[in-house]
Structure 1
Amino acid sequence: MCTGLEVAAIGASVLAAGGAVYSGQQQKKMSNYQAAQAEADAEAAQAAARVEADRIRKAGRAQAAQANASLAASGVDTGEGTALRIQSGIVGDAEQDAYQTILNGANQSARLNAQASADRISGRNASTSGYISAGSSLLSAGGTAYNGWKKAGSK
């Protein structure tokens, strides 16, 4: 038979095991929440980059049109030569800026998605750790019970 001390130790170990499992599960839930938030941020970064790229393209077209109007007002033929190169340069620069903005958004999105993956891994590890700690507590409780039974049997 076990004494009251061994019973208390076993009870404490069982409670510790339950607490370890619960803690691991809560950490996993928090990590999954953070992962979902990082994924939402990744989507938002890409969407924001596309909106900004469209704004850059629109501004480039407006600037090219303004340059075209200024050149035409001064009597320059806008369909050839320097005037055409100026317009093409403005539109080309705007497109390059827009493309770079989209690339930056994609890179930011990739970093956020990588963080989401890391958060999920962290959550799985926390859950596994909780189960391992619980198992350790229960094994410790079993050892305590066995020692108490062994001592009580030898008296």
Structure 2
Amino acid sequence: MSSFPVEVTKGDEITLSCMSNGRPSPTLDWVNPSNGSNIEIGPGFLHIPYITSEHQGIYKCRATNQYGSDEKDVDIRVKDLTWIVLVIAGIAAVLMTVAAMASYLKNKASKRGQYKLDKAKPNNNAQIPSGNDHQENFPLKKRHP
């Protein structure tokens, strides 16, 4: 029997053992604080095939004969790892959102500067240069190799 807390995870299986020597041989029984189901108690053992939070508490093994009794206890603490699953799911959701946003921005950036010229209308506004006027002002120079 352990004198310090024993941490188990929800869903684990656990067997507590208890032994005693004496003359006459003591009888062993268990005192448990839980109202949990699925607890199997036998001579010298207590077995829980599927731990839940309702099984948490201090379990006592009591040895008794005509000369007296003695007991040892073990403190069972049940950890529930549901929060870890929720954190991992949250991180996955954030990563998927970031990936989708990055894909959207990349796609948007790659389309920048692309125009469908087959549907373009001619420029009839005199204030907006068409581009043809500027070629006269800026003639191309020949490059000499």
TM-score, normalising length: structure 2: 0.38
Q: Which structure dedicates a bigger proportion of its chain to helix?
A: 1
The structure number with the bigger radius of gyration is 2
Q: Which structure dedicates a bigger proportion of its chain to strand?
A: 2
Larger RCO (alpha carbons 8 Å, 6+ apart): 1
